[in-house]
Amino acid sequence: MKNYSKSVSFCRFARSYSILEKFVFKDTLEKARFACLDSISEAKKILLLGEGDGRFLEKLTSINKNCQITVLDASPIMLGLAKEKVPVTFQGKIHFCEEDVTIFPFACEAFDVVVSHFFLDCFTEETLTALLKNISSTLHPGGKWLIADFVEPSLDTIRSINQFISLRILYVFFRLICGIEAHKVVSPNKMLKAHGLHESHCISFSKGLLKSLIYIKQA
């Protein structure tokens, strides 16, 4: 892998990632992560971006046993953990790529599904502008993009102020421990719309702090 910023790494955090997540969020992130999984049970070519420790891959390969999956993540430890989770019953193909998504040469219309859970929130608006354009182009017309992520609170209620503070603490943690560039969640909605994708499904969790979304690319 070339050019991946040495200061960004989820490796030191990879093995404790799921334990810390459950400690802080209980099962809420899991619910958001798997909320739209059934919608891709028949998909053939699937791209998992920033898959992390493989919890989504594990469920996907147990309900969709014959698909072709590309798992792209910059962390070799996360990729190793993901490999261990593939059930023996899976009969499809998986290609594990240790790559930096920001410089990856995505092939045009190569996938019918893209999944990016708790991943786009690692990047600034500037990075996302280029990234979302490239990822959109790798999706077939009519294809689906599944996104589970945090949402920046509106700051109009006491609850939303508390959510805002929790999110700031989370960002300080990920900036210090993993070196992510972002300070806040940038909604991908406008950028995806500009690339011909529209939101077809949205489920909210934790009083709006999290969303699980399906975008469809115009056919």
Ligand X SMILES: C[S@@+](CC[C@H](N)C(=O)[O-])C[C@H]1O[C@@H](n2cnc3c(N)ncnc32)[C@H](O)[C@@H]1O
Interaction of residue 102 with ligand X, rule CB under 6 A: yes
Q: Is 74 in the site for ligand X (CB under 6 A)?
A: yes
Q: Does 94 interact with ligand X (rule: CB under 6 A)? A: no
Does the footprint of ligand X cover residue 181 (CB under 6 A)? no
Asked if residue 39 binds ligand X (CB under 6 A), the reply is no
Three-state SS for 192?
helix
Out of 73, 147, 209, 213, the residue judged to bind ligand X by CB under 6 A: 73
56 φ, ψ to 5°? -70, -40
Q: Residue 119 interacts with ligand X (CB under 6 A)?
A: yes
Q: Does 13 bind ligand X (CB under 6 A)?
A: no
Q: How far is CA 34 from CA 38, 87, 104, 124, 201, in A?
A: 8, 17, 26, 25, 14
Measured on CA atoms in the order 7, 10, 15, 18, is the torsion positive or negative?
positive
The least distance separating ligand X from the CB of residue 218, rounded to whole angstroms, comes to: 26
| Total interface residues for ligand X by CB under 6 A | 18
- The pair of structure tokens assigned to 36 is 């739209």
Check residue 33 for interaction with ligand X (CB under 6 A). yes
Q: How far is the CB of 16 from ligand X (least distance, A)?
A: 13
What are the C-alpha distances in Å from 94 to residues 33, 69, 106?
20, 5, 17
Does position 171 interact with ligand X (CB under 6 A)? The reply is: no
Q: Does 118 bind ligand X (CB under 6 A)?
A: yes
Q: Tell me: does residue 188 bind ligand X (CB under 6 A).
A: no
- 114: β partners: 47, 145
User: Residue 89: which residues within 8 A CB-CB, separation 6 or more?
Assistant: 62, 65
Return d(Cα 14, Cα 75) in angstroms, integer.
Answer: 8
Smallest distance, Å, CB 38 to ligand X?
Answer: 17
Nearer Cβ to ligand X, position 103 or 202?
A: 103
Please report how close the Cβ of residue 146 comes to ligand X at its closest, in angstroms. Answer: 11
Is 100 within 8 Å of 1 (Cβ atoms)? Answer: yes
Q: What is the binding site for ligand X (CB under 6 A)?
A: 8, 10, 33, 50-52, 56, 73-75, 78, 100-102, 117-119, 122
